[in-house]
Each structure stands twice: as structure tokens, then as C-alpha cells.
Structure 1
């Protein structure tokens, strides 16, 4: 049996993590992330000078999407490459996130957390 959604985020602080990019393919959405790892995470390293977190690259992959809404800010994001996350929630197959990139709301059959 697979891990629960909550356990997949163990030792990852999503609201301190950073969104790097959004990739949409057919019925799949991939969020490229810099995850903020807690000290108990297996890939944790001491944060670099001037950093609050141990940032580690990874992805959130959503497959079998049945509903998807992307709300982008008017005027774009002015060449920004790292986007702060202000709200994040997963409830069953529903996912909602607010960030500087924009708001993402979706329903998906599969939600995977991958750290590189």
C-alpha cells in the first residue's frame, strides 16, 4: 500500500519552500520546487550562509487531473524565477496553492512528492 498524502510531506515545510516552475502536459501537472527540508529529513544538510532552510530540489507531480484552474496575476511576474508560497492545502484528491506565481486549484487521481 502507498504512503498517505500527509506522510509524503513529512519533514518538508511546504510554506517555506519555493516554487520554481509549472509544467502542464495533457492530464499531468508538475511543480518544480526548492523544498525546505526539516532536520529530520534524510536529505537535510546545514543551510548555507544567509539561508533559513536547507533547500533541496524536487517536484510535485499531479496525474489524472479532472479539474484544473490557474489564476495568474495581471501583468505577469516580471522575470522572477523563485516564487514564495503563501497558502498550501491538500485534502483527499484536491490541491490548492497560492503563490507569487499565481493560484493553482486542481483535483487529481495521483499526487506524488519527489525529491532529487
Structure 2
């Protein structure tokens, strides 16, 4: 039996993580993330000078999307590549996130958490 979605975020501080990109492809959505790892995480390394977190690249992949709502925030700097997360919630097949990029609400058949 696979791990629950919530357990896949063990030792990851999602609200201190950042969104790097939103990629839409057919009935799939991929969120490129820099996850903020907590000291208990197996891949944790002490943050360098001037860094507040041990950031580790990863992906959230949603497949078989039956409902999707994206509301892009007004961006003042088009070169911006990292967006802070304000709220993050996954329950069953439902996902909601608000961040500086905008808001994402969806329902998907498959939700996968991948770390690189």
C-alpha cells in the first residue's frame, strides 16, 4: 500500500516552500516547487549563509483533473521566478493553494509528490 498524501510531506515545511512554475498539459497539472526541508528530512542540509531554509527541488503532479480553477495574480515583475505560499491544503482528491502566483483549486484522480 502506498503512502498517504499527507505523509509524503513529513519533514517538509510547505508554507515556507516556494512555487517556481505552473505547467498545464491536457488533463495534467505540474507544480515545480522548492520544498523547505526540516532537519529531520533525509535530504536535509544546513542552509548556507543568508539562507533561511534547506530548499530541495520537487514536483506536485496532478493527473485526471476533473475540476480546475486557476486565478493568476497581477504580477508587477515578469522576471519573478519564485512565489511564496500563503496556504496549502490537500484532502483526498482535492487540492487548494494560495500563493503570490495566484490561487489554484482542483480535483484530480491522482496526486503525486516527487522530490528530485
In the alignment, does 2:13 pair up with 1:6? no
Q: Secondary structure at the match of 1:49?
A: coil
Q: What do you get for the CA RMSD once the two structures are aligned?
A: 0.9
TM-score, normalised to structure 1, is 0.95
Q: CA deviation at 1:83?
A: 0.2
Structure 1 residue aligned with 2:73? 73
Q: Specify the SS of the correspondent of 2:49.
A: coil
In the alignment, structure 2 segments of 5+ residues that lack a partner are none
Query: What displacement does 1:36 show?
Result: 0.1
TM-score by length of 2: 0.95
Match of 2:91 in 1: 91
Q: How far did 1:81 drift?
A: 0.6
| Displaced runs of 4 or more, over 4 A | none
Name the residue aligned to 2:109. 109
Q: Paired residues, what number?
A: 115
Aligned-residue offset at 1:52: 1.4
Distance 1:3 1:26, change over 3 A: same
Matches within 5 A, 1:27-106: 27-74=27-74, 76-78=75-77, 79-106=79-106
Gaps of 5+ in 1: none
TM-superposed CA distance for 1:91, in Å, is 1.1
